[in-house]
Amino acid sequence: MKYTPELEGFRAQVRAFIDERLGPDLRNRLRQGFPASKAELQQWQRTLHERGWAAPHWPKAYGGADLSTEQRLILLDELFRAPAPIPLGFNVTMLGPLILAYGTEQQKRFFLPKLASLELWFCQGFSEPGSGSDLASLRTSARREGDDFVINGQKIWTTGAHLADWIFCLVRTQKTERKQEGISFLLVDMRTPGITVRPIVSIDGEHHLNEVFFDDVRVPMTNLLGEEGRGWDCAKFLLANERTGIANVGLSRERLGHAISLAAMLGESGNDVALQPWFLQEIAILDAEIRALEVTNWRLLVGDDERSAAFASVLKLKGCEMQQRVMVLLSKVAGPEGLEKRPSRGEESKHWAAALDPRYFYSRAASIYGGATEIQKDILAKAVLERA
């Protein structure tokens, strides 16, 4: 792929900024596959925010930098390449653009700067037991009492609810014939009495996910986003809006580079994985497929190809497949060390193989979150049939 000199110049600026501002310790831990702490994520997002790059596509007036899609893709690419933490998607790519589109001026002024700087950390309260792919069947309800909504019900699989200050929720405010109607979109302070967060430990042995229970939780009417009963419009906007990061090409490329570096490091101590035909073949195939995805991603997001509503599904499906295949490769490179050195929950480890198997296990979830693989294939099949 060929970038214009202006875009190459922008890339150089971003790379120099990251080199200057990102500490080597965090960078090394991310490279090994360990997660950043909450404090590190906040600090780094604040650093990016000072430069206008935490929410780069937002208008300058609300803390963004008005960057073009091309520049955004390059910025994201460089963050993954470093590797550096990526700004919190719930804040920056999901809720922020939604508030810009549907929020009152007061909501914009209050929330947007805090979302960009991570002064407020949001989580996403959409899924419920029994309502995931079929989201509109959700049952968490909110009734009006004076100037408040009163919420009762349960959310599940809420990533980072234990870290979050606020949650954005879909709740049923009316019983209607069409299940997509009568849903409202509320912004809820996690400190409100009646909210209980219960951890779910996932297959990697870590605590990312939660159940969130609402027991007569009072939320002021001013925290309604958009019109009452029209929350489904907000949900569709939010889910359809973010496509720039959906393929995560930079992540797959960075992980592939890490597999190659690890194999070289192991070679120095007599482990000849880097010379094995299966390894060389896998590297070559993954490299070619990641390049193809990179071009497709650019073409669909930036180019003037005719866009189908289904193109986001292509990026999600292929992006998810590439991430998972690279994680499998890393796990194979780690071999038995991956399992032997895997730390127990809460235990700190600096061993090069310690984080690889947990990340492999967690990467399986990419086929479920953000719209399950079967659902994406269904969307594609329908798009193909419509064109036939």
- For residue 99, the number of C-alpha atoms closer than 13 Å in the C-beta half-sphere is 28
Residue 199, beta-bridge partner list: 210
What is the dihedral sign for C-alpha 341, 346, 350, 353?
A: positive
Question: How many residues in total does the chain contain?
Answer: 388
Burial class (CB in 10 A: 0-12, 13-18, 19+), 4: exposed
Stretch that binds ligand FAD, among 9-17, 155-163, 188-196, 240-248 (CB under 6 A): 155-163
CB nearer to ligand FAD: give 159 or 296. 159
Q: Restricting to residues 352-371, name those near ligand FAD by CB under 6 A.
A: 365, 368-369
To the nearest 10 degrees (0 to 180), the angle between helices 311-334 and 356-363 is 150
Q: What is the DSSP letter of 95?
A: I
Binding-site size, ligand FAD (CB under 6 A): 18
| 375 binds ligand FAD per the rule CB under 6 A | yes
In the list 47, 124, 248, 323, the residue contacting ligand FAD (rule: CB under 6 A) is 124
Q: Select the residue whose beta carbon is closest to ligand FAD and give its number.
A: 132
Which residues have CB under 8 Å from 298's CB, separation 6+? 1, 73
| 126 binds ligand FAD per the rule CB under 6 A | yes
In angstroms, the CA 363 to CA 192 distance is 33
In angstroms, the CA 276 to CA 295 distance is 29
Catalytic residue among 206, 211, 228, 242: 242
In the list 195, 328, 372, 383, the residue contacting ligand FAD (rule: CB under 6 A) is 372
To the query of whether residue 242 is one of the catalytic residues in this protein, the response is: yes
Q: Restricting to residues 191-220, name those near ligand FAD by CB under 6 A.
A: 209
Stretch that binds ligand FAD, among 120-128, 181-189, 255-263, 292-300 (CB under 6 A): 120-128
In the list 133, 137, 174, 222, the residue contacting ligand FAD (rule: CB under 6 A) is 133
The footprint of ligand FAD (CB under 6 A) covers 123-127, 132-133, 157-159, 209, 365, 368-369, 372, 374-375, 378
List residues with catalytic annotation: 242
